[in-house]
Amino acid sequence: MSRRSIDPARLLRRISTLGEIGRDAEGRLVRLAASDSEKLGRDQFVAWLEEAGLEVAVDHIGNIFGIWNGAGGEEKPIMIGSHIDTVINAGIYDGCYGVLAGLEVIQTLKDEGFEPSRPIVVAAFTNEEGVRYAPDMMGSLVYSGGLDVAAALKTLGTDGTLLGDELARIGYAGTHAPGFMTPHAYVELHIEQGPVLEREGLSVGAVENLQGISWQRVTIDGDANHAGTTPISMRRDAGYAAARVIAFLRDRAKSSNTPTVATVGCIAFEPNAINVIPSRATFTVDLRDPDEDRLKEEEAALAAFLELLSAEEKVGISAERLARFEPVKFDSAIVRLIEAAAGDRGLACRRMTSGAGHDAQMIARIAPSAMIFVPSRSGISHNPKEFTTDVDLIAGANILLDVVCGLATGELPE
């Protein structure tokens, strides 16, 4: 395995610089997809690509690629990367670390005169977070053929804008068709966004699979009535029915010996008055499990409970599917390569499941893929308190460097 090393100061400086781009008047980091603030981040990333001597390509959905053809320009490329759009009031590492570490790996190899057997490409995918435009992971989904690019460009944002119009406005409606390069392999380096590695005192996670995700919106219709004069036995209380669903999901997940998780993240009552029984409750349900059969079981259990609840509480209930992604199993050879790279550098490593969605799950549709995790302090992410130590950031980038070298030279562990 290679014992090359990235330039730590260059990587950390770029992470810090990008982390200051897109601050609002309150000092919050807000780089929503295709916004003015994200344009500034994109412009900086492209400037760094050009500084590194890479060919810059942008596709129709705004995905940005820095391409190093090397000696094997006709071969399928090794692709590394992530995203640079953020949530509202974000931390500086989510997504950005993987993109900038990918650039650092290429620049290190170029500086050292490495001769890759195939092109190496760093990618920054559009709208991974899905805050302004839905669905999330849109750029990689379009790139892998899972969503028509014309339909994606017509997506209406939360602010009434169209994604295609905004990409054109900020200068990132590219000329390449999505999928113009089919990767030989894809590797994404990311902070864990969870507490497992820190809790177990480990430096590296070799991500072997990614949870399936089921998103639904549930609407419960009852009757609004006076909170003081209507006996409990005579109520059709949509709020109470919603509470029963939340408790059901929590109790079912806690009593299971599986990794299933369930979350109600959004909820709204109508008429939303302190002294009125809710006539309507609308809420979201997020179900996740790394096994497709178990995920289906959880969906079926929820559907059966909603039917029972409707009869018991005499309320109307409907459920709308918002998104559905099957679990992803990453490429076992790349996972072994990550483990071998960690071991070669004397770093403690474990195989693990990703509980969050990532661009890697989309690119896995068209190429062997895997992910590398480094620890997140207290598991915090999507929050300005998001933090990973410099030591772990550097270690993860060096693991990525070794993995890319292994993929570029064919040095794969058995």
Binding-site annotation, residues for Zn(2+) = 83, 94, 129, 190, 382
Domains parsed from the chain with CATH numbers: 8-210+327-408 (3.40.630.10), 212-325 (3.30.70.360)
Each residue's pLDDT tens digit, 263-272? 999 999 999 9
Residue 159 is encoded by which pair of tokens?
Answer: 């602010």
pLDDT of residue 393: 98
Range in 65-79, 110-124, 347-361 with the lowest mean pLDDT: 65-79
Mutual orientation of helices 292-313 and 238-255 as an angle, nearest 10°?
150
Alpha carbon separation from 327 to 42, 58, 364 (Å, rounded)? 31, 29, 11
Across the range 89-118, mean pLDDT stands at 96
**27: number of Cβ within 10 Å:** 9
Q: How confident is the model at residue 114 (pLDDT cuts 50, 70, 90)?
A: very high
Query: Which has the closest alpha carbon to 383: 87, 77, 20, 127?
Result: 87
Q: Is the pLDDT of residue 1 over 50?
A: no
pLDDT of residue 189: 98
Binding-site annotation, residues = 83, 94, 129, 190, 382
CA dihedral 27, 20, 126, 267 (to 10 degrees): -20
Q: Is the pLDDT of residue 376 over 60?
A: yes
Each residue's pLDDT tens digit, 207-219? 999 999 999 999 9
Return d(Cα 240, Cα 56) in angstroms, integer: 55
Each residue's pLDDT tens digit, 170-216? 999 999 999 999 999 999 999 999 999 999 999 999 999 999 999 99
Are residues 288 and 211 in contact, defined by beta-carbon separation less than 8 angstroms? yes
Each residue's pLDDT tens digit, 266-317? 999 999 999 999 999 999 999 999 999 999 999 999 999 999 999 999 999 9
pLDDT of residue 413: 57
CA 345, 349, 351, 352 dihedral sign is: negative
Q: Is the pLDDT of residue 414 over 60?
A: no
Return d(Cα 350, Cα 374) in angstroms, integer: 11
| Percentage of the chain modeled with pLDDT above 70 | 98
Q: How confident is the model at residue 323 (pLDDT cuts 50, 70, 90)?
A: confident
* Beta bridge mates, 328: 210
Each residue's pLDDT tens digit, 133-143? 999 999 999 99
Are residues 206 and 335 in contact, defined by beta-carbon separation less than 8 angstroms? yes
pLDDT of residue 288: 95
CA 245, 247, 252, 254 dihedral sign is: positive
Cis-peptide into 375, omega within 30 deg: no
pLDDT of residue 207: 98
pLDDT of residue 254: 96
Q: What is the DSSP letter of 213?
A: E
Return d(Cα 242, Cα 266) in angstroms, integer: 11
| Percentage of the chain modeled with pLDDT above 90 | 94
What does R_g of the chain's alpha carbons equal in angstroms? 23
Across the range 349-377, mean pLDDT stands at 96
Residue spans of beta strands (DSSP E) within 211-297: 212-221, 261-263, 267-270, 280-289
Query: Phi, psi at residue 120, to the nearest 5°?
Result: -120, 130
408 burial (CB, 10 Å; 0-12 / 13-18 / 19+) is buried
Q: Is the pLDDT of residue 102 over 90?
A: yes
Give first-to-last CA distance, the chain, whole Å: 14
Across the range 221-250, mean pLDDT stands at 98
Q: How many Cα atoms sit within 13 Å of 245 on the Cβ side?
A: 39
For the chain, the average pLDDT equals 96
